[in-house]
Amino acid sequence: MRQVEYKQVTSARGSLLFLKGGNNAALGERVAIRDKDGQIRNGQVIRTSEDMVLVQVFESTANLDLENTWIRYLDQPFELPLSPDMLGRNFNGIGKPRDNRPPIVSSLVRNVNGAPINPSARAYPKEFIQTGVSSIDGLNSLVRGQKLPVFSASGLPHNRLAAQIVRQAKLPDDSSNFVIVFAAMGVSHSDAHFFETEFESSGVLRNVVMFTNLANDPPMERLILPRTALTAAEYLAYDLDHHVLVVITDMTNYAEALREIATEKGDVPSRKGYPGYLYSDLAEIYERAGRVKDRHGSITMIPILSMPSDDITHPIPDLTGYITEGQIVLSRELHSKSVYPPVNVPPSLSRLMKDGVGKEFTREDHPHVASQLYASYTRALEARNLASIIGAEELSGRDRRFLEFADAFENRFIMQGEDTERNIIETLDLAWELLSLLPPESLSRVSEAEIQKYHSWDETR
Amino acid sequence: MGSIVEVNGPLVTIRQDNIRNGEQVRLGKLGLVGEVISLHQDTALVQVYESTESLRPGENVIGLGKQLSVELGPGMLGQIFDGVQRPLNRILEMSGEQIARGLEVPSLDREKTWHFVPADKLAVGQQVCGGEILGTVQETETIQHRILVPPNTCGDIVEHACEGDYKIEDIIASVRNKNDQIEHLKMYHDWPVRTPRPYHSRTHSAMPLLTGQRILDTFFPLLKGGKAAVPGPFGAGKTMVQQQIARWANADIVLYVGCGERGNELVDILETFPELTDPHSGRSLMERTFLVANTSNMPVVAREASIYVGVTMAEYYRDQGYDVVMVADSTSRWAEALREVAGRLGQMPVEEGYPAYLASRLAAFYERAGNVNTMAKQSSGSVTLIGAVSPPGGDFSEPVTSHTKEIIRTFWALSKPLADARHYPAVSWTESFSDYQDRAQSWWAENVDHKWAKHRQYALSLLTQADELERIVNLVGPEALSSSQRWVLETASILKEGLLQQSALDEIDSYCSPAKQFKMMDIMLRFHETGKELIKLGAPVEQLAQLPENGKIRRIKSVFTNDQLSDMENFAEELFEHLDCMRAEYAGAKEVQA
Ligand SMILES: Nc1ncnc2c1ncn2[C@@H]1O[C@H](COP(=O)(O)OP(=O)(O)OP(=O)(O)O)[C@@H](O)[C@H]1O
Ligand SMILES: [Mg+2]
């Protein structure tokens, strides 16, 4: 560490400090900024040349003046000390305790940016996780090592769904529990409190590491928080052999902080003012989920984001969808019909489901049933749409059955209580019960043998 | 030696004498590799293939004296390389699970020995020139690797190796060129990736690239040496389409370029391909496959390079006389890498932040597809290019999709509503097109059935009619339709569910042979015709729609394998017999009425 402090700030704007005289600062180097009151702020070099350095200040440059600001280069990147003592603790974005307990001391420190995982080191995620939620397990199953975001919007119960998943997630025949890394960015006090109480009441608190940045905490800290949290997650998974479930909320606040700093730096904007590198930047976070060969632990990631104006084509959900392995989309319409969890089935997807369900993992009919439910529900929504135009009485007999199916599917399959936990067999049996509302010749995604075995069609109903 | 002046993300300004544009450099203590992209008075700008974190002004710079090149020789098949052709398996051994920076690894294995069999021409005194075959080694069980004279070499052989085992650094021939210099030829040579490899002449083939996917082969065919794009919003199935092509295409060599996409998708290939059998050679698929991977979390500059690295390797196998398919997932990420560098260079953005040269770069890339007579005229080969396009918000009017659409000849447009209904492959029959269909037609006529073109046209017209009828139903209800119109809707639904829909995960249906593709279409259209007659005779549509045959026809695809076409024929005969009985009944009833 360099002991010298430099006083060379030439301008301060938003969260950026421009320093003259290069001092050969390294890109990504951490700096300590002392203001006139002796307060220390944290910063990072984001551009460096022989005669100029650009520093991003996590706490913003408010109240700094050019005369009384001193800079110290710490000669190291942003690093996080790691130890098993992190479990049960709460930190801020740069890893400082928020819980009035002493900081983590450890000789093991890692650069929070990590390094890309070699694709040939990865193992393909395949192990079915039972969340106990039918609309997920039955239709869009989660597997260990997957990154499966929840696309939500303001006022929808994404927090409750995330908490339910955390509470119920398990492997059908494995008792080992998940360790939770919880990363919150720009969330309200009440949301943070909700999760803390949740973890406490379900008794997992000792297995949780929290990284919290509240809505009134410095926004720039949000840029480093998920990286810090994932560094902890990697340590728990690959050094300590835990299966880690990382819940990150809310990615929209992260991306907005990124846009803010990009605009300050004058980066060329692409869509809606977000920088062109938003995709790569998000990928650096999301791709840290996964499984690694010859390692026992794993990182399963559930990022939550709110879609601005409920728009799934907005750059944040859009780019997220292009990186993650599917998405669970929540629907305002179902929510207003009091369907919990209001999972909007058609646009939801789990890409890793195909290798994690079926005979070896859940039940042989599972992939076909899921596909059939999608096909029938889409068809049923068309019938419902038609009924709204011409009136339900005008529908053909077949279409009326589909109409009935749509209601049953929403009210019985998608809807389930916050405390209801259905195992995968219950979910599949329920699915067949509902498919039995439809005539067999309309079910082409399931095999004839499966119809024989599970479908109970009553022509006369 | 030069030094670093400025570090700005992946761009580094250096001060270095005698450096050339395009030259590669090593930077700093870590020895990060980059490429000069512009020169100014006494400085040069370098784009770096690795993360520049911790790089400082004042650190050293070394010019490497060559452009970004790939090593071309035996040992590429079955491998996975990063965006600048470093073998990821070797990197795994060297640096563990996370990719360390500044590693120096040769692309091709220096220690492996290959059994070299000289060609007849390999004799003292013979003249050999660029592209000629010096000999062969068996690279995998299925692929014989032809060792080529590097394109720019020509001379008389003064010394050569005999049959035997050699490593790729061993000299297998020495030639005296026309400047009276001796050049030593090895089993590999370098080639700069941004320069297309030369060939003798272009040819036009009419051989379809058969993928075993009905909506592609039957409806929107691609030819060997052609260029195609698969655009679609996230989750619509671009990667699956490309993986299916990589699995089943009737090509000799398949190169899968994962450009800015997910790590797990590459693992999927690495884990499943060795277990799968190539339907054409009967051998493990991995023997003809290799991969280039720059995943979304890897540095963005190497993403820009990965496309060129890939296509150069593809051209090299083409030059050996092979039909090569390169799938690139996704070209949008490559374009975004261009945009990112352009933005940092302060270049004027023209549309959505993309630089003005986006269209020309895209065109130049796809121009590297084609059928050629190889340089030495001894054989012909092809490179087929298939690029995924990932339009923001699924909007096909955005720059990368719209420019690509102008360039390619086959367009497989993926539709979100189809994907949402789990109708896979979600290729839209209204938005997709193929300019190759006329040429494909002659192949189908000769090899499968001369009715192919007619059938295809008929099936497509039923599908478009049905779309139109559905619009009407949604306005005024089904009652507005005549019986025969409602029958069109029924048939279209059979075509969609029974023919167009094809699950990549279905063991039987994942690959559908051309003969089976035609036969299925034939049965469905015959079913339609028969139904039409029955309706004319007064049979109610509802009754026809509820026939158990309806369900059976929809399942043909996953009931009969490619080898069970005669069983399928028998099944069809039985089915039509039943319908014929019905027809006889209705005809009888009608006569009585009359
Ligand atoms: N032909 C198919 N057969 C069966 N399932 C399919 C098929 N095509 C797509 N799918 C399903 O759709 C999912 C998404 O497909 P895919 O990953 O190819 O989408 P994509 O267009 O590449 O998305 P992205 O742009 O985000 O990479 C797959 O995981 C699979 O479940
Ligand atoms: Mg994809």
Ligand 1, atom 11: closest residue by C-alpha: B237
Q: Exposed, middle or buried, A294 (CB in 10 Å: 0-12/13-18/19+)?
A: exposed
Report the share of chain A in percent with pLDDT over 70. Answer: 99
Among A8-22, A380-394, B226-240, B570-584, top mean pLDDT goes to B226-240
How far is C-alpha A280 from the chain's CA centre?
Answer: 16
| Shortest alpha-carbon distance between residue B476 and chain A (Å) | 7
CB B541 within 8 A of CB B486: yes
Please state the atom number of ligand 1 nearest to the C-alpha of residue B390: 25
Separation of CA B328 and ligand 2 centre (Å): 10
Specify whether the backbone of B575 is left (phi greater than 0), alpha (psi in -120 to 50) or beta: alpha
| 3-state SS, residue B157 | strand
> CB within 8 A of B438, min separation 6: which ones?
none
* Secondary structure letter of residue B384 according to DSSP: E
Distance set, CA A133 to CA A357, A412, A417, B205, B551 (Å): 15, 12, 9, 54, 32
> CB within 8 A of A387, min separation 6: which ones?
A394, A395, A399, A403
Would you tell me how many other CB atoms lie within 10 Å of the CB of residue B277? 11
pTM above 0.90, yes or no: yes
| 3-state SS, residue A272 | helix
Ligand 1, atom 29: closest residue by C-alpha: A351
Architecture in CATH of B452-593: Orthogonal Bundle (1.10)
CA B233/CA B417 separation, integer angstroms? 11
| Shortest alpha-carbon distance between residue A86 and chain B (Å) | 23
In this structure, the strands spanning A349-350 and B2-8 are: unpaired
CA A144/CA A301 separation, integer angstroms? 9
Q: What is the CATH number assigned to the segment(s) A80-353?
A: 3.40.50.12240
CB B75 within 8 A of CB B369: no
Q: What angle do CA B217, B220, B224 make, to 5 degrees?
A: 65
CA B191/CA B197 separation, integer angstroms? 8
Tell me the HSE value of B104 on the side-chain side, using a 13 A CA sphere. 6
Q: Name the amino acid, one letter, at B58.
A: G
CA B15/CA B8 separation, integer angstroms? 15
Residues of A in contact with B392 (CB under 8 A): 271, 313, 315, 318-319
> A447 in contact with B at a CB cutoff of 8 Å?
yes
| 3-state SS, residue A445 | coil
Greater pLDDT, A173 or B18: B18
Residue B43, phi then psi, degrees to nearest 5: -125, 165
CA A214/CA A216 separation, integer angstroms? 5
Tell me, what's the ipTM?
0.94
| Shortest alpha-carbon distance between residue B349 and chain A (Å) | 8
Nearest to A276 among B5, B339, B551 (CB): B339
Would you tell me how many other CB atoms lie within 10 Å of the CB of residue B370? 23
Q: Which residues line ligand 1 (CB under 6 A)?
A: A 321-322, 351, 354; B 232, 234-240, 261, 390, 424-425, 503-505
For chain A, which residues make up each domain, given as ranges? 9-77, 80-353, 366-454
CA B276/CA B255 separation, integer angstroms? 16
Separation of CA B505 and ligand 2 centre (Å): 16
Q: pLDDT tens, A188-230?
A: 999 999 999 999 988 888 999 999 999 999 999 999 999 999 9
> A149 in contact with B at a CB cutoff of 8 Å?
no
Is A441–B546 a contact, with Cβ atoms under 8 angstroms apart? yes
Would you tell me how many other CB atoms lie within 10 Å of the CB of residue B185? 22
For chain B, which residues make up each domain, given as ranges? 113-187, 201-262+293-435, 452-593
CB B414 within 8 A of CB B230: yes
Q: Which residue of A has its CA nearest to B94?
A: A118
CA A325/CA A140 separation, integer angstroms? 11
Q: Exposed, middle or buried, B98 (CB in 10 Å: 0-12/13-18/19+)?
A: middle
> A48 in contact with B at a CB cutoff of 8 Å?
yes
CB B334 within 8 A of CB B389: no
Separation of CA B14 and ligand 2 centre (Å): 37
Greatest pairwise CA separation for chain A in angstroms: 88
CA A245/CA A297 separation, integer angstroms? 11
Count how many residues are written for chain B. 594
- For the record, the structure tokens of A308 come out as 């601005």
Separation of CA B68 and ligand 2 centre (Å): 28
* Pure H helices in A202-277: 221-234, 251-265
In CATH terms, the fold of domain A9-77 is: Elongation Factor Tu (Ef-tu); domain 3 (2.40.30)
User: Is residue A173 predicted with pLDDT exceeding 80?
Assistant: no
| 3-state SS, residue B2 | strand
* Per-window interface: A 384-423 vs B, CB < 8 A: 385-386, 389-390, 394, 396, 398
Mutate to test the interface with A, among B4, B15, B43, B56 (most CBs of A within 10 A): B56
A172: pLDDT confidence band, cut at 50, 70 and 90? Answer: confident
Is A349–B497 a contact, with Cβ atoms under 8 angstroms apart? no
3-state SS, one letter per residue, for B55-108:
CCCCCEEEEEEEECEEEECCCCCCCEEECCCCEHHHHHHHHCCECCCCCCCCCC
Separation of CA B261 and ligand 2 centre (Å): 7
Residues of A in contact with B336 (CB under 8 A): 276, 279-280
Separation of CA B205 and ligand 1 centre (Å): 31
In CATH terms, the fold of domain B113-187 is: OB fold (Dihydrolipoamide Acetyltransferase, E2P) (2.40.50)
Query: Which residues on adjacent β-strands are paired with residue B385?
Result: B227, B326
Q: Exposed, middle or buried, A314 (CB in 10 Å: 0-12/13-18/19+)?
A: buried
CA B408/CA A450 separation, integer angstroms? 43
CB B319 within 8 A of CB B148: yes
The pLDDT score that the predictor gives to residue B382 is 97
CA B182/CA B155 separation, integer angstroms? 9
Is B295–A287 a contact, with Cβ atoms under 8 angstroms apart? yes
CA B460/CA B467 separation, integer angstroms? 11
CB A130 within 8 A of CB A175: no
Please state the atom number of ligand 1 nearest to the C-alpha of residue A353: 31
| Average pLDDT per block of 10 residues along chain B, 594 residues long | 92 93 95 94 93 95 95 96 95 94 94 95 91 95 95 94 96 94 96 96 92 97 97 96 96 96 94 89 92 94 95 97 96 94 86 93 97 91 97 95 96 96 95 95 96 97 96 85 93 96 94 96 96 92 86 92 95 92 85 73
- Which of A170, A171, A305, A182 is CA-nearest to residue A236? A182
Is A117–B263 a contact, with Cβ atoms under 8 angstroms apart? yes
CB B157 within 8 A of CB B126: yes
> Among 3.40.50.300, 3.10.105.10, 3.40.120.10, 3.90.1170.50, what is the CATH number of B201-262+293-435?
3.40.50.300
CA A328/CA A347 separation, integer angstroms? 8
* Per-window interface: A 151-170 vs B, CB < 8 A: none
CA A97/CA A93 separation, integer angstroms? 10
CB B101 within 8 A of CB B85: no
* Secondary structure letter of residue B216 according to DSSP: I
Separation of CA B297 and ligand 2 centre (Å): 15
Residues of A in contact with B505 (CB under 8 A): 354, 367
Specify whether the backbone of A208 is left (phi greater than 0), alpha (psi in -120 to 50) or beta: beta
CA B347/CA B220 separation, integer angstroms? 38
Count how many residues are written for chain A. 461
Specify whether the backbone of B233 is left (phi greater than 0), alpha (psi in -120 to 50) or beta: beta
Q: Which residue of A has its CA nearest to B336?
A: A276
> A284 in contact with B at a CB cutoff of 8 Å?
yes
Residue B37, phi then psi, degrees to nearest 5: -115, -15
Residues of A in contact with B14 (CB under 8 A): none
Q: pLDDT tens, A82-120?
A: 999 999 999 999 999 999 999 999 999 999 999 999 999
CA B25/CA B102 separation, integer angstroms? 11
Q: Exposed, middle or buried, A100 (CB in 10 Å: 0-12/13-18/19+)?
A: exposed
* Per-window interface: A 295-324 vs B, CB < 8 A: 295, 313-315, 318-319, 321-323
Nearest to A322 among B53, B234, B339 (CB): B234
Residues of B in contact with A351 (CB under 8 A): 235
- For the record, the structure tokens of A383 come out as 């019938």
CA B412/CA B59 separation, integer angstroms? 49
Q: Which residue of A has its CA nearest to B343?
A: A268
CA A355/CA A332 separation, integer angstroms? 31
Q: Which ligand is nearest to the CA of B509?
A: 1
User: Is residue A285 predicted with pLDDT exceeding 60?
Assistant: yes
- The mean pLDDT of chain A is 92
A461: pLDDT confidence band, cut at 50, 70 and 90? Answer: low
DSSP for B401-429, written as a single string: HHHHHHH-SEE--B-HHHHHTT-SS-B-T
CA B24/CA A283 separation, integer angstroms? 27
Tell me which long-range contacts A410-413 makes (C-beta under 8 A, separation of at least 24).
A410/A334, A410/A337, A410/A339, A411/A339, A413/A134, A413/A135, A413/A138, A413/A373
A1: pLDDT confidence band, cut at 50, 70 and 90? Answer: low
The pLDDT score that the predictor gives to residue B499 is 97
Mutate to test the interface with B, among A322, A350, A361 (most CBs of B within 10 A): A322
Nearest to A313 among B8, B394, B473 (CB): B394
CA B51/CA B303 separation, integer angstroms? 12
Q: What is the dihedral of CA B76, B81, B87, B88, to 10 degrees?
A: -140
Separation of CA B185 and ligand 2 centre (Å): 41
